[in-house]
């Protein structure tokens, strides 16, 4: 008797790679078109981001920041994906995605205010197309669907990119977003930074699928997997996804395989669930070191350039944290008034009780 021809995807998706760990181009056809000035600007942002991350970790340990999720190791996914966008495009981030917001126009001191829990940290300046980081895992994906639908209805040539991690890909909001974007062919990019762990949960216990990119199939959208430690692979994938969105060709799911060099947060101890051998294996794939080798061979970057950017970043971070610390203290009235255009009666009564 014949059996029902069930289909199971038993082969992994090959990850797009353009730049080897030795700084060599291994896929010329997929190399994004970038000028020398753009290449240097990307490197500047990556070095600046890691330096600010180092400083932010120390600020958190000093009690000068609140919640902070380190980003070192993920500079290619963060800097690269934002660089591939236009300033008019919109970003709906998760809580680790502070660098994308800052490079998209959010003042750094406001990012620090957000970490400190201050109301002004969530007040986005006019013309900066970002939402503040979403602490609820995956909730930003549904917000991105609304923005993308607005662009589609208004026939605007803008796209939305929304970020989550491998853990976020297990949330219901993730699947709802994929399905909705597929049905309505929305101009949205789902960018999953698969760093191997959802806090302590390894990717092997996150899904039985061989890749997150496979999940695009059921939603009827494009899916791609990239080397998330490769700045060129990230930029190329996002550029093409954005172009598809602008041309009315629908959504794209990008899985970027990366690694966070630091713990999940300042209260996490990664040594409890990661081995030194694993960390060493990933350290040789460092996205900044890889890109630096490429630029040095082209005569576009030196160790002196890296040192200069680090000093500039340290000075900038010091100025921005001081600005955040000098901001007027948050009040109950200010918190409520900044959230509602017309304050509900019960909150007005509570405000009066505090005064």
Catalogue the active-site residues: 260, 264, 273
CA distances from 122 to 56, 72, 81, 135, 254 (A): 19, 24, 22, 13, 27
Place of tokens 């939305």: 160
DSSP type of residue 117:
T
DSSP string, 279-299: HHHHHTT-HHHHHHHHHHHTT
Nearest alpha carbon to residue 241 among 261, 224, 262, 257? 224
CA dist., res. 159 & res. 188, Å (int): 6
Nearest alpha carbon to residue 13 among 231, 223, 259, 238? 223
Which element (helix H / strand E) includes 53? helix 36-61
CA dist., res. 179 & res. 136, Å (int): 20
Question: Is the Cβ–Cβ distance between 290 and 259 less than 8 Å?
Answer: no
Q: Is 351 helix (H, G, I), strand (E, B) or coil?
A: helix
DSSP string, 50-111: HHHHHHHHHHHHTTSSSS----TT-HHHHHHHHHTS-TTSEEE-BTT-HHHHHHTT--HHHH
Nearest alpha carbon to residue 94 among 77, 116, 80, 107? 77
CA dist., res. 159 & res. 85, Å (int): 8
CA dist., res. 55 & res. 48, Å (int): 11
Q: Pairing between strand 90-92 and 160-165?
A: parallel
Question: Is the Cβ–Cβ distance between 174 and 138 less than 8 Å?
Answer: yes
CA dist., res. 111 & res. 108, Å (int): 5
Tokens of 212: 């997150």
Which element (helix H / strand E) includes 336? helix 332-337
């Amino acid at each position: 008797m014949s059996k029902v021809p069930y289909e199971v995807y038993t082969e992994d998706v090959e990850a797009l790679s353009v730049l080897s760990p030795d700084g060599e181009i291994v896929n010329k056809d997929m190399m994004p078109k970038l000028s020398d000035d753009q290449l240097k600007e990307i490197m500047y942002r990556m070095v600046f981001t890691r330096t600010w991350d180092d400083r932010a970790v120390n600020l958190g340990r000093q009690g000068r920041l609140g919640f902070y999720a380190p980003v070192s190791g993920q500079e290619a996914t963060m800097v690269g994906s934002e660089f591939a966008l236009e300033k008019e495009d919109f970003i709906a981030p998760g809580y680790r995605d502070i660098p994308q917001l800052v490079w998209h126009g959010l003042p750094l001191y406001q990012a620090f205010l957000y970490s400190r829990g201050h109301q002004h940290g969530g007040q986005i300046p006019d013309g900066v197309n970002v939402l503040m980081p979403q602490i609820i895992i995956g909730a930003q994906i549904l917000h991105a669907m609304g923005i993308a639908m607005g662009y589609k209805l208004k026939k605007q040539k803008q796209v939305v990119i929304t970020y989550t991690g491998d853990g976020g890909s297990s949330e219901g909001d993730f699947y709802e977003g994929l399905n909705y974007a597929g049905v309505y062919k929305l101009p949205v990019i789902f960018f999953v930074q698969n760093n191997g762990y959802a806090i302590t949960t390894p990717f092997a216990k996150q899904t039985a699928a061989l890749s997150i990119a496979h999940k695009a199939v059921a939603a009827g959208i494009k899916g791609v997997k990239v080397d998330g430690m490769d700045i060129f692979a990230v930029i190329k994938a996002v550029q093409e996804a954005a172009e598809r969105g602008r041309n009315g060709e629908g959504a794209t799911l990008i899985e970027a395989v990366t690694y966070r060099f630091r713990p999940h947060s300042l209260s996490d101890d990664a040594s409890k669930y990661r081995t030194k051998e694993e960390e060493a294996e990933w350290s040789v794939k460092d996205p900044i070191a890889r890109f630096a080798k490429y630029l040095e061979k082209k005569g576009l970057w030196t160790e002196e350039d890296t040192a200069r950017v680090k000093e500039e970043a340290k000075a900038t971070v010091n100025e921005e944290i001081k600005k955040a610390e000098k901001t007027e203290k948050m009040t109950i009235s200010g918190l409520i008034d900044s959230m509602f255009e017309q304050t509900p009666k019960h909150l007005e009564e509570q405000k009066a009780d505090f005064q």
